[in-house]
Chains A and B, each alone.
Chain A
Amino acid sequence: MTSIRDLDGQYDKIYRYCYFKTNHRETAEDITQETFLRFWESESYQESGQALQYLYTIARNLCIDHYRRAKPSSSLEAASDTAASEMAAQQIPAAEHTPQNDAEEKVLTRIAVQAALAQLPQEERELLLLRYANEVPISVIGALMGISRFAVYRRLRQASAHFEENLKKEDIQ
Chain B
Amino acid sequence: MNKKKMFKEAYAPPEPLHKEEFLRHAPIQPVSTTAFILSQIRYIRKWVWGLDIILLCLSLIGTFFFRWKILYELSAMMPLLALTMITESGRSEYYNMAEFEQSARFSLKSVVLARLGILGIMNVFLFLCFTLVSNVSMDISLIRTGIYLLCPYLITVFLCLWISRRFHAEEVFYLCIGVTVMVCLGVLMLHNFAIAVYGGEYFVWWLGAALLSGIGAAKECVRIIKQMEEFVWN
Contact = CB atoms under 8 A, between A and B. Distances in A.
B16 interface: yes
Interface stretch (A61-69, A93-101, A108-116, A146-154): A108-116
B7 A2 contact: no
Interface of B: 1, 3-4, 6-14, 16-19, 22-23, 26-27, 29-32, 35
B16 A29 contact: yes
Given A11-B19, A33-B22, A19 B13 contact: yes
A16 B4 CA distance: 14
A37 to B, nearest CB: 9
B27 A8 contact: no
Interface of A: 2-5, 7-8, 11-12, 15-16, 19-20, 25-26, 28-29, 32-33, 36, 40, 43, 46-47, 87, 109-110, 113-114, 117, 128-129, 132-133, 135, 160
Given A16-B12, A109-B1, A33 B17 contact: no
A112 B16 CA distance: 25
5 residue pairs, one from A and one from B, having the closest CB atoms: A19-B13, A132-B7, A133-B7, A133-B11, A113-B10
B19 A43 contact: no
A25 B35 contact: no
Task: Please report whether the interface of chain B is mostly helix, strand, loop or mixed according to DSSP.
Answer: loop
Question: Which of B3, B17, B35 is the most central at the interface, judged by chain A CB atoms within 10 Å of its CB?
Answer: B3
Contact of B10 (A2, A15, A36, A87): A87
Given A29-B17, A32-B16, A132-B7, 7 more contacts: A4-B29, A25-B16, A43-B30, A46-B30, A113-B7, A128-B7, A129-B11
A25 B17 contact: yes
Contacts of B3: 132, 160
A2 B16 CA distance: 26
Contacts of A25: 13-14, 16-17
B105 to A, nearest CB: 14
Nearest to B17: A29
Q: Considering residues B1, B13, B18, B32, which has the most beta carbons from chain A within 10 angstroms of its beta carbon?
A: B13
9 contacts: A8-B23, A12-B16, A15-B19, A16-B12, A46-B29, A109-B6, A117-B10, A132-B6, A132-B7
A3 B10 contact: no
A43 B31 CA distance: 11
A7 B16 contact: no
A36 B3 CA distance: 28
B41 to A, nearest CB: 15
A150 to B, nearest CB: 21
Nearest to B27: A40
A107 to B, nearest CB: 10
A19 B11 CA distance: 9
Nearest to B31: A3
